[in-house]
Amino acid sequence: MSKNLNLFEILQNPAIGVIAIHSFIIGYNNVAKHKDGKENYPPLNQLFYILPIIYDISAMKSIKNELYTTLTENKNLTLELEERARKMSGQTFESLNLGFSKLIFKLNRKNFTVEIEKEYEKNILDMMKIGVESLRNIQTYSKRLGNIFAKKDEKRLQIDLKIRF
């Protein structure tokens, strides 16, 4: 099955949001677990910026391994990012709700980070054995975005992305 999803299908499907958030958390954890003084999992407030970036195809395709490179390639990525995150918070909440209700995610109440349950630590698409290109792209670029967020401290992210947590 090699069907590309259209934007409306993506935005209305919280399961795709779960894939993006899950991949972001994996990417974040891959970097953060090797850094001293950094939580191994992303804070809840950072998760609201995943979907506005990933659901913008030009922004998604511009994600490289470093924030500076990404922003250099796509100067529009930060334009109204905070406003887009606010407008898409409903979709993010739906995706988080689905992830928590299906026990894919768990909330660390001590430091308000979102973790992945042990049995879901592998990539979801690998577990499901499907290869729809649009979903693979969402997964790949979300993971890269998680890597980028983990490399920066919170203040630097806010400055570079022109947002507030």
Cα-based distances in Å from 163 to 19, 48, 86, 131, 152 = 24, 11, 11, 34, 14
Which has more pLDDT, 81 or 123?
Answer: 81
Q: Hey, which bits of 85-137 come out as E strands? A: 105-108, 113-116
This prediction has a pTM of: 0.84
pLDDT in tens, 117-140: 988 887 776 655 556 777 888 889
> For 23-64, what is each residue's pLDDT tens digit?
999 999 999 999 988 899 999 999 999 999 998 889 999 999
- CA-nearest of 97, 77, 80 to 141 is 77
State the burial class of residue 73 (Cβ atoms within 10 Å of its Cβ: 0-12, 13-18, 19+): middle
| In contact, 96 and 113? CB cutoff 8 Å | no
Q: Which of 1-15, 24-38, 76-90, 99-113 has the lowest mean pLDDT?
A: 1-15
State yes or no: pLDDT of 18 exceeds 60.
yes
